Copies of this chain bind each other. A is one copy, B any other.
Amino acid sequence: MAEKKPHIDWKIKVHDIIYEAETPAGKLFDIILLIAILASILLVMLESVESLDNQYHAFFDISEWVITIMFSIEYILRIISVKKPLKYITSFYGVIDLLSTLPKYLSLIFVGTHALVAFRAIRLLRVFRILKLVRFLSASNHLATALKASRAKILVFVLTMLITTIILGTVMYLVEGKENGFDNIPKSVYWCIVTLTTVGFGDITPQTPLGQVIASFVMIMGYGIIAVPTGIVTAEYAKQDSKMNDSDDKHKHSVSPIPPHPSEIDTNSLSCHNCMQEGHKDGAKFCFNCGHDLNT
């Protein structure tokens, strides 16, 4: 490792600060980034409140510029410090990072474009990376596996529900009609979804006796079939849970009744400098994804 140039060293340092969570500098960076994101979201929310925007418009504007410039610098550093910048730029988080910096710059071009606010809210997705929420879920919960296993069934369930709502919505449109707020079939289907999911806004309600009978049927159905996705997820989750425990028992002959899941003890929070793959085993020397030396 003696042939490494100081230039590379500097890059690696930056990489470690930005991408790693284990080192003190990395931790500090993550915390500052988290605060910046939350502050930025708070700004977006408060700016939309007219009375506050009138009073503190200048403050909001300056703060947003500060955060935008911070994010821009971070984005550039991320590109520089990664070995395969293109891979980062086209990755999910790469796109999110770019979208996080753009809105304020674009507001200079498209003056008064309201829709840029939505881009700023997208910044929130970056929280997932910092808190490693997705990984946390998939590693220790089996929840992701359970949801993936029951994905097809839930899709069929949602499709069946949608077909039901369209047919029942059409019936309600015929029964209640325009005079009771069921203006057209799409609105009637919307009412049906509102009712079946037990949300029940009450902006449109059946007025005729027959309409109320059908509505009662929809409600009882909605109340009952919530059991279906719940049943699927619960059963799958319990299955994933016991399966994982079984395989642990076989591999480890552990004495403790509930051995920690391998994912919890074996992996570290390092990420490959080359391909940014995470979830390497403790003590692993090469990236299991691209074979790059993890210690360079």
- Which residues of A approach B to under 8 Å, CB–CB? 41, 44-46, 48-50, 114-115, 117-118, 120-122, 124-125, 127-128, 131, 133, 136-137, 141, 143, 146-147, 152-154, 156-161, 163, 166-167, 170-171, 173-174, 183-190, 193-203, 205, 209, 212-213, 215-216, 219-220, 222-224, 226-239, 241, 243, 246-247, 257-258
Contact = CB atoms under 8 A, between A and B. Distances in A.
Contacts of A46: 186
Number of identical monomers bound together in the oligomeric complex: 4
A203 B170 CA distance: 22
A226 B228 CA distance: 11
Of A46, A122, A197, most buried by chain B (CB within 10 Å of CB) is A197
Contact of A170 (B121, B128, B246): B121
Contacts of A146: 231
Given A201-B205, A202-B202, A186 B45 contact: yes
A230 to B, nearest CB: 4
B124 A166 contact: yes
Nearest to A131: B159
Chain A: interface secondary structure?
helix
Nearest to A205: B203
A157 B243 CA distance: 23
Nearest to A163: B124
B48 A173 contact: yes
Contact of A186 (B159, B185, B209): B209
Of A120, A122, A127, most buried by chain B (CB within 10 Å of CB) is A127
Contacts of A229: 223-224, 226-227
Contacts of A201: 200-202, 205
Given A48-B186, A197-B198, A215-B190, A227 B222 contact: no
Contacts of A158: 220, 224
Contacts of A41: 166
A216 B230 contact: no
A264 to B, nearest CB: 12
Given A44-B170, A118-B171, A141-B153, A230 B232 contact: no
